[in-house]
Amino acid sequence: MILTVVIPVYNEEETLETLVRRVQRTEFDKEILLVNDGSTDGTAEVLARLETEPNIRVFHQERNMGKGAALRRGFEEALGDVIIVQDADLEYNPNDYGVLLEPILQDKADVVYGSRFSDISRKVHSYWHTMGNRMLTTMSNWMSDIYMTDMETCYKVFRREVIQSISLDSNRFGFEPEVTAKLARIPGLRIYEVPVTYNYRTFAEGKKIGWKDAVSTVARILYYNTNHCEEKAYKIPVREIQMKIAESRERIAGGQG
């Protein structure tokens, strides 16, 4: 099994190389896709150094378009069997990859979300940030009729066939409710949630999501859960997505056997 790690990057010169080294140390065969979303600091110089490594590919957006746009580019370029989203800061720990991938490797899941709000030891962080995330997750659960504890988490893992079959149009943090709503409507898709560690970053430390993104997320939860159209939501018919998922299950399960 080959793992593709998609990392959207915007002005992360101070943390990017440290994060990539942590990803490289994980035990899985992997490719790392770094998508520079119009950074204006020294990120491009860091990327130029990292790009010389054989399992790293770098892509540059012409201008800053947002996390969702950067992820779309990464998903399109991915070649691995399984794709994981990784932020370029140090809030999420790549040591959790084993926990995140286990349900797929054991053929129990097709998509895995890493929850920050499970009962685990973690750094104490902002109450209002946590409550905002939980409110948005609850609203998403209600609208999509699936229950999870952390829709807004960075850590999302997909069989490649799943995410490459979904039409995505959100450019910023609206990616989270959009992809969740569209995943929820694929019959037979198995979605798991596992606990992950989380090292909260303050706005002073470079956190980028704000109240305007929260308002936008509410609007997108409503939009994607009430204006569902299969022809617009997916690149191919759902029955073909199901066939591709079945092929992925056989391939990965066979490789692990």
Is the pLDDT assigned to residue 214 strictly greater than 80?
no
Spatial separation of the C-alpha atoms in residues 71 and 75, rounded to whole Å: 6
Chain segment 31-80, per-residue pLDDT in tens = 999 999 999 999 999 999 999 999 999 999 989 999 999 999 999 999 99
Q: SS3 string of 28-91? A: CCEEEEEEECCCCCCHHHHHHHHCCCCCEEEEECCCCCCHHHHHHHHHHHCCCCEEEECCCCCC
Q: Model pTM?
A: 0.89
Residue 38: which of 8, 78, 14 has the closest Cα? Answer: 8
- Comparing CA positions, the residue from 76, 252, 59, 101 lying closest to residue 164 is 76
Q: Is 195 helix (H, G, I), strand (E, B) or coil?
A: strand
pLDDT digits (tens, 9 = 90+) for 3-35: 999 999 999 999 999 999 999 999 999 999 999
Q: Which of 58-62, 133-137, 155-159, 248-252 has the lowest mean pLDDT?
A: 133-137
pLDDT score of 203 more than 60: no
Cα separation, 57 vs 158, whole angstroms: 19
Compute how many other C-beta atoms are within 10 angstroms of the C-beta atom of residue 233: 21
Q: Which domain holds residue 112?
A: 3-256
Determine the pLDDT at residue 122. 42
Which helix (H) or strand (E) element contains residue 3?
strand 3-9
pLDDT at 124 over 80: no
CATH of the domain at 109: 3.90.550.10
CA distance 31 to 12: 20
Q: What percent of the chain has pLDDT over 90?
A: 70
Task: Starting at the earlier edge strand, list the strands of the sheet with 156-159.
Answer: 56-60, 30-36, 3-9, 82-85, 156-159, 111-115, 191-195
What's the domain count of the chain? 1
